[in-house]
Chains A and B, each alone.
Chain A
Amino acid sequence: MYTELNSILNVTPDSFTQGEFILVSDRQSDASFLIHHFLSFYLRARCKVCFLGLVQSFSHYSAVSQRLGVSLTQAKEKGQLIFFEGLKESLSILIPQETNPESQAMDFLRDPSVGLRSLYEFVRSSLSSSGGEEKGADRAEEWGPPVLLVDDLSVLLSLGVSVGAVLDFSHYCQATVCSKLQGNMVMLVRCNGLEEEDDGDDESSDRLLKGLTHQCSLSLHVQGLPTGYCRDIHGQVEVCWRRRQGDGTHMQKKLFQFKVHDKGASFFARGTSNAVL
């Protein structure tokens, strides 16, 4: 959890807006440090978290979170964190074994054209069932609003899922998590190509990013510096609020530069890095 980012977004683990869809995107850069931020943020905020980790193993996220001062293993044992390890699950579908019962969530691997309905069902059941369990058994602790984190959606495109199917998936997740359960949602999308003018035949990841931008309420777009590599500034992040804010503005954009450290990240206004001043 990066406190500087919290103050930019005007949130704390004790008070944050519910029902938000936060889109994290990057272009020729790496925004995964923001996923780690949000993971540790929501775990500290005592939310019930469902994490769809499609690109890395659990131990990877666990190791990074350890550095940020949050233990994923403990959170998992307490029932606060539901970790979906996409790499393992896909393996169990591709190489069926008797020992681990295969789940339905990754069904789209067999036939990408069926869409992501089963993955959505997994999200819905893991986040909304928590309410019933709490009432039934006292042993479960009370958790805050549900949170869905996805790292990252563009991997689904590589697995053969169409852009439309991913947008449907995110729409259903938004309708369930943000609107019905009043929770939050953070999704990461990565674009590799350069930004191009509307050519009609954009790359699919660009189309996905546009569609999700229309859906989200807050977007964080990470880019490299336009002037090239720099040792002291790792890139810039554009924060864009798309819903009406308290002061009545519709859309607000702010640009910050950042540097990722070993145990955190610092954010500063353009041109005010320590190396410059």
Chain B
Amino acid sequence: MLPELLQGSDAGGFLIIQDSAGCSGRHLLKSFINAALNREEAVHVLGFEISEEELKEELKGSLTQRLHFHDAFTDPLGWTDHPAFTVHQFGLEELTRLVKHTSHAKPAILVIDSLSWILRHVSPPVVCRTLQQLKKGGAVRAIIGLLHADMHQRGAVGSVCHLATSVITVAPRMTGDEALAKITKRSKSGKVVQDEEIFSIKEDLTVIVMSKPSHTGLKLTDPENQETDPTANLTFNLHLSDTEREAKDKLALPFVFSKEKKTALLHSGPGSGRILYEPDVNDDYDQEDPDDDLDV
């Protein structure tokens, strides 16, 4: 499903890439930007957490003239004199103006890196409203946003993800290069499709889907296991012949007491030792009256 999403989201689509501290989703985001640029679409990047140089460094190969970078990285809060874009400008009018500023025939794709930065400074309801307006507004064809899910309260993450048409959650795998993508896609008919895919990203930012670790895969292997007989190809004999069974039944187990054994142990033969006991006065000690022996 991942290549499908990369190929091009529908108009009015809103895709969220969710990541955590253990696994960064920025590489996947760059792949999405790269794929959109290769489709000859105009891409507007609202960069809070990435500098223009860093973004363009990896996109060297592809055409970057259709990439419009809006710098919210150097001064997102307006601490210096000339901020390019501050987080408080995050609203419908301002974003529409930015996107429309470069005149293009068809609506562009807006990439937000990252939504977490905005959510830290703008309240979730306002962010959600702006995103919804952008989605419906028509100035942008699709929105792709990166979200660090582990930095916010669950409610905020949930409400933003409810707006999205597709959510890709990136999780780490054992090997460094691969990552697991859990994809939830809501189609317009209201159908929700969920999928899991293992992917890796090559140096030219193309995504390779390795395999599907989905549960259907597990179920497929299960009946196979049931059919195969584990005792089929053994190097030793598991079965007994009749004579072997007879011999086995005859054998007395070492710690089972037979009658002979018991009598042999209890009645000792002549010449063996014997214990003689004569009761002593001191042995007759009364626990309840310890001073019994005193002459009072």
Contact = CB atoms under 8 A, between A and B. Distances in A.
Nearest to B178: A250
Contacts of A248: 202-203
Contacts of A213: 21
Given A251-B23, A251-B172, 20 more contacts: A117-B79, A164-B120, A168-B77, A171-B49, A172-B75, A175-B51, A175-B75, A179-B73, A200-B153, A210-B21, A210-B148, A210-B150, A213-B21, A214-B21, A214-B49, A214-B151, A215-B49, A242-B24, A248-B203, A250-B177
Interface in A182-232: 198, 200, 207, 209-211, 213-215
A244 B58 contact: yes
A276 B260 CA distance: 58
B104 interface: no
B79 A120 contact: yes
Contacts of A250: 24, 27, 176-177, 201
A249 interface: yes
Q: Which label, helix, strand, loop or mixed, suits the secondary structure of the A interface?
A: helix
A175 B73 contact: yes
26 contacts: A120-B79, A121-B79, A164-B121, A167-B120, A172-B79, A179-B51, A179-B74, A198-B154, A200-B154, A207-B151, A209-B21, A210-B20, A213-B21, A214-B24, A214-B49, A214-B116, A215-B49, A248-B202, A249-B176, A249-B177, A250-B24, A250-B176, A250-B177, A251-B23, A251-B24, A251-B172
Contact of A251 (B49, B74, B79, B176): B176
A180 interface: yes
A210 B49 CA distance: 14
B242 interface: no
A230 to B, nearest CB: 27
Given A120-B79, A175-B75, A179-B73, A210 B176 contact: no
Nearest to A182: B53
B237 to A, nearest CB: 43
Given A210-B21, A213-B21, A214-B21, A180 B177 contact: no
Nearest to A212: B21
Nearest to A211: B151
Contacts of A244: 27, 58, 203
Contact of A252 (B21, B176, B202): B176
Interface string B139-150: 000000000101
Interface string A74-105: 00000000000000000000000000000000
A176 B77 CA distance: 14
A168 B49 CA distance: 11
Interface in B87-133: 116, 120-121
A171 B75 CA distance: 9
Nearest to A219: B21
Nearest to A248: B203
Interface string A35-50: 0000000000000000
B13 interface: no
A210 B22 CA distance: 9
Contacts of A215: 49
Contacts of B120: 164, 167
Most buried by B among A167, A200, A214: A214
A242 B54 CA distance: 14
Nearest to B23: A251
A253 interface: yes
Contacts of A242: 24
Interface string B36-77: 000000000000010101100010000000000000011111
A211 B23 CA distance: 13
Contact of A214 (B53, B74, B148, B203): B148
Contacts of A251: 23-24, 172, 176
Contacts of B172: 251
B206 to A, nearest CB: 12
Q: Which of A179, A211, A244, A250 has the most CB of B within 10 A?
A: A250
A120 B74 CA distance: 13
Contacts of A171: 49, 76
Interface string A110-141: 00000001001100000000000000000000
B24 A180 contact: no
Contacts of B148: 210-211, 214
Contacts of A121: 79
Contacts of B176: 249-253
A62 to B, nearest CB: 32
A94 B177 CA distance: 51
A252 B153 CA distance: 28
B179 to A, nearest CB: 8
What 5 pairs across the A-B complex have the smallest Cβ distances?
A: A213-B21, A179-B51, A210-B21, A248-B203, A175-B74
A247 to B, nearest CB: 10
Nearest to A241: B176
Nearest to A121: B79
A79 B167 CA distance: 52
A176 B51 CA distance: 11
Contacts of B201: 250
A209 B150 CA distance: 11
Interface string B1-38: 00000000000000000001101100100000000000
